[in-house]
């Protein structure tokens, strides 16, 4: 469960930090994390987010495709399952469904075993696709540290070092 929370926190951080043209949109809080399914090295997670969109445009998160890296080794891959639409000028609860695939369960488990999780030790590479009619943007994510990007990350991960 610690791993799922860490991966989810990283995705939130990258989503908020990477959307340069949508930087006014913020994730105010994570109200719930539900593990829907565990199948081998894959975990399906529902993440309930309170999203603040002060802009006059409806925004859609179309795709998330991220590799999570720790100490130059691929730790996990995160991809979205479905799309999330955030209405214009709203603060609303939205559910984001993610598939988290652990690259190598044994080595990933050894990285976490007996240590406090520090989100700043993790970086992400990949992309996030967002759209707001009639525009679409593929936002590259390259070597972004995840711990410093999300306010309130410590509420998801009480053992995290700050």
| Tens-place pLDDT, residues 110-121 | 555 556 667 677
From CA 103, how far away is CA 67, in angstroms rounded? Answer: 9
From CA 15, how far away is CA 79, in angstroms rounded? Answer: 12
pLDDT score recorded for residue 16: 56
- Locate the DSSP E strands across 1-134: 26-39, 42-53, 59-70, 73-80, 84-86, 90-102, 122-132
Structure token pair of residue 120:
């700043």
- What pTM, to 2 d.p., does this model score? 0.67
Q: Give the residue, 52 or 157, on which the prediction is more confident.
A: 52
Q: Is residue 149 part of a domain?
A: no
pLDDT in tens, 19-39: 444 456 777 777 777 889 988
Domain of 104, in residue numbers: 2-141
Here the CATH number for the domain that contains residue 69 is 2.60.40.10
Q: How many CB atoms lie within 10 A of CB 16?
A: 17
Q: Is residue 157 part of a domain?
A: no
Q: How many CB atoms lie within 10 A of CB 152?
A: 12
Task: Give the number of domains in the chain.
Answer: 1
Q: Give the residue, 1 or 63, on which the prediction is more confident.
A: 63
Preceding amide of 38 cis, omega within 30: no
pLDDT in tens, 57-92: 888 989 989 888 887 778 889 898 989 998 989 999
Residues forming beta bridges with residue 17, ordered by sequence position:
none
Q: Is residue 148 part of a domain?
A: no
């Amino acid at each position: 469960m610690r791993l799922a929370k860490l991966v989810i926190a990283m995705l939130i951080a990258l989503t908020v930090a990477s959307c340069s043209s949508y930087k006014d949109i913020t994730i105010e809080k994570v109200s719930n994390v539900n593990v829907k399914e565990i199948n081998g090295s894959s975990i399906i997670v529902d993440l309930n987010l309170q999203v603040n969109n002060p802009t006059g445009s409806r925004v859609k998160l179309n795709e998330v495709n991220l590799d999570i890296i720790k100490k130059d080794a691929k730790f996990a891959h995160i991809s979205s399952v479905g799309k999330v639409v955030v209405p214009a000028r709203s603060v609303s609860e939205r559910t984001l469904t993610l598939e988290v695939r652990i690259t190598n369960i044994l080595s990933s488990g050894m990285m976490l075993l007996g240590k406090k999780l520090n989100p700043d030790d993790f970086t992400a590479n990949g992309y996030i696709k967002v759209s707001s009619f009639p525009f679409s943007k593929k936002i590259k994510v390259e070597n972004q540290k995840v711990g410093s990007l999300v306010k309130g990350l410590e509420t998801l991960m009480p053992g995290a070092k700050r």
